[in-house]
Amino acid sequence: MTSAQSRLTYDDFVKIAPDAQAALLALGKAVDDSGFEKDLIELVKVRASQINGCAFCLQYHLSVAKKLGVPQEKIDLLAAWRDAGIFSDRESAALSWAESVTAISRHGAPDNDAHAALQKYFSESEVVFLTVAVATINAWNRIGVALHFPPVVQPQRSAKKTGA
- Domains (ranges, CATH) in the chain? 18-149 (1.20.1290.10)
State the Cα angle at 52 between 101 and 114, rounded to 5°.
20
pLDDT score, position 2? 43
Q: Does pLDDT of 160 surpass 70?
A: no
Q: What percent of the chain has pLDDT over 70?
A: 89
Over residues 31-60, the mean pLDDT reads 96
Residue-wise DSSP of 102-141: HTHHHH-SPPHHHHHHHHHHS-HHHHHHHHHHHHHHHHHH
**Whether the model pTM is above 0.85:** yes
Specify whether the CB–CB gap between 102 and 75 falls below 8 A. no
Distance, CA of 56 to CA of 13 (rounded, Å)? 13
pLDDT score, position 105? 77
Q: Determine how many CB atoms are found less than 10 A away from the CB of residue 16.
A: 11
Distance, CA of 29 to CA of 147 (rounded, Å)? 24
Specify whether the CB–CB gap between 50 and 58 falls below 8 A. yes
